[in-house]
Amino acid sequence: MRIGVLTGGGDCPGLNAAIRAVVYRAAQNGHEVVGFLDGWKGVRDDLSRPLAPADVADIVLRGGTVLGSSRTNPFKTPEDAEKVLATLDRHHVDALVTIGGDDTLTAGRELARRGRKVVGVPKTMDNDVAGTDWTFGFDSASSVALDALERLRDTAGSHHRAVVLEVMGRHAGWVALATGLAGGADFTLLPEEPYDEPRLMDHVRAAVARKGFALVVVSEGIDLGPRKGNAGSGDQFGHELLKEREVGAEVAKRIETVTGVESRSAVIGHIQRGGAPTLFDRILATRMGAKAVDLLLAGRSGEVAVLRGAEVIGVPFDEALRENKKVGPDWIDLLHTFDA
């Protein structure tokens, strides 16, 4: 077989580990790999490079993606769709491994519906792909956010301030949840819960009374209700760029106004997406990349390699993409255990 591979959507640590696994697993079984550049754009516009084990031997520890990424929707127009199929034929690609989040995988499903062999590998720092327990990229991104919170703790304590850390994650609060729980935040605001200002202010006041400072984690996706301020612009798939709404700065301003506690905010933004992947992400990405090839070798297509419990298994695209996975009530309950 000649297997194509691409990485699409927002990059995250672990992509290179997944690419490496695809290439090595294919080579182990006597198959070739061609890498398409910059996500679906590379398939649409015919940008590719051959990938042999020697090309990817040392990338497991590197952040980003050696193939490049983009948020290109390859099926935006019928002409684009034709270009995609033509590129695959030109390169004699028998099967494609699409590594990405919801949008990239949805495009993969569309290609499978058009009769091509396609398997998916879920990745995203947002951890919001429905069919998998965890996506790689999430652990690394949350670890960076955790480090940022710990640094903010020092300066918040020195100056007796309330400090708000805004983290990414789109409309799912997984990164905020993990950062707040692991970093001992005094309050964490998730998109999954209605914004409760009196409760937030009570916690800030209590924390300041107890120890002289307060740490608040805010997910970029929270809804602060109607307010004068920024609306995020959109990307190719029509997603609002939530960072532009600056909810962290707004929350800090409100804390200062309501409680009188001097407040600051920090946004770590894309810093969360860079750097070496954690051990967990390297292993998960490696397992998923290898599984994607195993699925193809077993003659399976239209599936995504997902983590269920301790196992990496193949499930149909529809199951992996059935919804945007949100933080559930059990997690929220655990988070609020530490509100006291």
* Smallest separation (angstroms) from ligand F6P to the CB of 34: 26
Instruction: Give the footprint of ligand F6P on residues 244-303 (CB under 6 A).
Output: 273
Residue nearer to ligand F6P on the CB measure, 120 or 302: 120
- Contact call for residue 124 and ligand F6P (CB under 6 A): yes
* Smallest separation (angstroms) from ligand F6P to the CB of 105: 13
Residue nearer to ligand F6P on the CB measure, 273 or 325: 273
Class of residue 104 by CB neighbours under 10 A (exposed 0-12, middle 13-18, buried 19+): buried
Residue nearer to ligand F6P on the CB measure, 125 or 214: 125
Tokens representing 135 are 């996506």
Structural contact between residues 168 and 125, judged by C-beta atoms closer than 8 angstroms: yes
Could you say which of 125, 149, 162, 216 contacts ligand F6P (CB under 6 A)?
125
Number of residues binding to ligand F6P, judged by CB under 6 A: 13
Q: What is the 3-state secondary structure (H, E, C) of 100-166?
A: ECHHHHHHHHHHHHCCCEEEEEEECCCCCECCCCCCECHHHHHHHHHHHHHHHHHHHHHHCCEEEEE
Residue nearer to ligand F6P on the CB measure, 178 or 208: 178
Half-sphere exposure of 178 (CA within 13 A, CB side): 21
- Contact call for residue 173 and ligand F6P (CB under 6 A): no
- Contact call for residue 95 and ligand F6P (CB under 6 A): no
* Smallest separation (angstroms) from ligand F6P to the CB of 129: 10
- Contact call for residue 139 and ligand F6P (CB under 6 A): no
Structural contact between residues 8 and 235, judged by C-beta atoms closer than 8 angstroms: no
Residue nearer to ligand F6P on the CB measure, 122 or 302: 122
Residue nearer to ligand F6P on the CB measure, 70 or 301: 70
- Contact call for residue 169 and ligand F6P (CB under 6 A): yes
Could you say which of 164, 168, 216, 296 contacts ligand F6P (CB under 6 A)?
168
- Contact call for residue 145 and ligand F6P (CB under 6 A): no
Could you say which of 8, 10, 39, 173 contacts ligand F6P (CB under 6 A)?
10
- Contact call for residue 176 and ligand F6P (CB under 6 A): no
Structural contact between residues 214 and 163, judged by C-beta atoms closer than 8 angstroms: yes
How many CB atoms lie under 10 A from the CB of residue 125?
31
Could you say which of 130, 182, 241, 283 contacts ligand F6P (CB under 6 A)?
241
Structural contact between residues 95 and 307, judged by C-beta atoms closer than 8 angstroms: no
Active site residues: 126
How far is it, in rounded angstroms, from Cα 153 to Cα 182? 13
Q: What is each CA distance from 99 to 67, 166, 193, in whole angstroms?
A: 11, 27, 30
- Contact call for residue 14 and ligand F6P (CB under 6 A): no
Class of residue 330 by CB neighbours under 10 A (exposed 0-12, middle 13-18, buried 19+): exposed
Structural contact between residues 320 and 120, judged by C-beta atoms closer than 8 angstroms: yes
Binding footprint of ligand F6P on the chain (CB under 6 A): 10, 101, 124-126, 168-170, 220, 235, 241-242, 273
